[in-house]
Amino acid sequence: MKAALFNPIRYSGSSPSGWPVAPSAYDLEIGQRSMLNGLENLRLADEIGFDWVTVAEHHYAGFSLTPNPMVLAGALTQVVKRAKIALLGPTVPILNPIRVAEEYAMLDNLTGGRIIAGLLRGTPNEYVTYNVNPAESRDRFEEALALIRRAWTEPEPFGWQGRFYQYRSIAVWPRIVQTPHPALYMSGSSQESGAMAARNRVGLGLAFTTVPLASVAAKFYREEANRLGWQPDPDQVIYRMGFHVAETDEQAMADMVESGAAKPHVGLTMANKAVLAGAMSSGYFGKAAEEQKERVAPRDAVQRIEQGQILLGSPDTVWKQIRRVRDEVGAGILDLFPIVPIADRTRCSIELFGAKLLPRLHEN
């Protein structure tokens, strides 16, 4: 197995709940420190042997200060010397796909081909950000995926007459370094997305879900791929979850309680009832919408451990939790984000994970 450290660059001060959050709640000093701490954690993860470092796109709230993960990845190219830099990823349907292809190509050149290219639909609230209809999200996504692949691999200038995208001439410089292009992933918790990942032969990312739901989704994806004549390898399934490791189980839980992270928290889309209602009626979550909504239902720390949403405890306890994800989901990549927003505890947790868990993980 491999491990990635995902850092959404959470705003470390207090910020009001809801979405969007008023910019007036942003304290400049705290915000800047949050960003530098995040960068330092990712640098540290590279130094102590994490296989990937991960960044993602979210807007308009303290949950994540990386509305453009490509910008953060640009900074990471200068401090992350060994690990792959995974973008999981840009919210493609609300962006200009050619711009996404170009930015990936720049990053791939800056890292000598160490970029992992996630292409995501994102959370439904992001469609408010750039005023895009979430009902068209899947169709926009699938077209953008085909377009980005072509833009990376076509040696001559070409035009594109799509349903959602139209370009008279495309010729991406710099060229992408990896052949034929970086490993591609998309999120695939619903059957619709799992089927799309299988027919486009891209890897599957499972995030903000539960182990039981992720197991079903991963199985469906593999079966679809087999039906279409190919077999995803273990590295083509990523499972994202929170983590906090301390010397003892008690200390780990005490850190959670002290930071306030043990309480149930409400996700970005759920934080705005109107956005959630709009997303539900748009068909964003696919046919099994209620089940998909259940993935992100607020849960306390104990429930989150039970559901396999977080790794929490001593190294030995966490190792057991990791084995469950490996055995039940079959994920080859664990994409782990810190859940205790206290800078020195997070650092200790990352270091402990590196010392006690990475060697075991790499053997399995």
Do 229 and 246 touch, CB atoms closer than 8 A? no
Among 30, 135, 146, 343, interactor with another protein by CB under 8 A: 146
Tokens at 71, concatenated: 């910008």
For the bound state, the minimum distance from the C-beta of residue 126 to another protein, rounded and expressed in Å, comes to 21
Tokens at 295, concatenated: 């993935």
Do 53 and 81 touch, CB atoms closer than 8 A? no
Among 24, 29, 159, 233, interactor with another protein by CB under 8 A: 159
CA atoms within 13 A on the CB side of 215: 11
For the bound state, the minimum distance from the C-beta of residue 158 to another protein, rounded and expressed in Å, comes to 4
Q: Is position 156 an interface residue for another protein (rule: CB under 8 A)?
A: yes
Q: Is position 169 an interface residue for another protein (rule: CB under 8 A)?
A: yes
Amino acid letter at 14? S
Binding mask 101-140 for another protein (x = CB under 8 A): ----------------------------------------
* Residue 313, beta-bridge partner list: 245
Q: Is position 290 an interface residue for another protein (rule: CB under 8 A)?
A: no
* Residue 91, beta-bridge partner list: 120
Q: Is position 229 an interface residue for another protein (rule: CB under 8 A)?
A: no
For the bound state, the minimum distance from the C-beta of residue 176 to another protein, rounded and expressed in Å, comes to 17
**Closer of 51 and 143 to another protein (Cβ):** 143
Please identify, among the stretches 22-30, 53-61, 75-83, 144-152, the one whose residues bind another protein according to the rule CB under 8 A.
144-152
For the bound state, the minimum distance from the C-beta of residue 169 to another protein, rounded and expressed in Å, comes to 6
d(CA 296, CA 317): 24
For the bound state, the minimum distance from the C-beta of residue 171 to another protein, rounded and expressed in Å, comes to 10
Q: Is position 99 an interface residue for another protein (rule: CB under 8 A)?
A: no
# residues near another protein by CB under 8 A: 17
Q: Which residues contact 291 (CB under 8 A, 6 or more apart)?
A: 213
DSSP per residue over 248-283, as a string? SHHHHHHHHHHHTTTS----TTTT-HHHHHHHHHHT
Among 57, 102, 126, 143, interactor with another protein by CB under 8 A: 143
For the bound state, the minimum distance from the C-beta of residue 138 to another protein, rounded and expressed in Å, comes to 13
Q: Is position 147 an interface residue for another protein (rule: CB under 8 A)?
A: yes
Do 76 and 126 touch, CB atoms closer than 8 A? no
Q: Which residues contact 247 (CB under 8 A, 6 or more apart)?
A: 314, 352
For the bound state, the minimum distance from the C-beta of residue 272 to another protein, rounded and expressed in Å, comes to 24
Torsions phi, psi of 204, nearest 5? -115, 130
**Closer of 46 and 143 to another protein (Cβ):** 143
Do 9 and 65 touch, CB atoms closer than 8 A? yes
Task: Identify the burial level of 265 via C-beta atoms within 10 angstroms of its C-beta, where 0-12 means exposed, 13-18 middle and 19 or more buried.
Answer: middle
Among 163, 273, 320, 362, interactor with another protein by CB under 8 A: 163
Q: Which residues contact 99 (CB under 8 A, 6 or more apart)?
A: none
Q: Is position 150 an interface residue for another protein (rule: CB under 8 A)?
A: yes
For the bound state, the minimum distance from the C-beta of residue 165 to another protein, rounded and expressed in Å, comes to 8
Among 162, 283, 330, 332, interactor with another protein by CB under 8 A: 162
Q: Which residues contact 277 (CB under 8 A, 6 or more apart)?
A: none
For the bound state, the minimum distance from the C-beta of residue 168 to another protein, rounded and expressed in Å, comes to 5
**Closer of 130 and 158 to another protein (Cβ):** 158
Among 23, 28, 29, 168, interactor with another protein by CB under 8 A: 168
d(CA 114, CA 108): 6
Residues that bind another protein (CB under 8 A): 143, 146-147, 150, 154-163, 165, 168-169
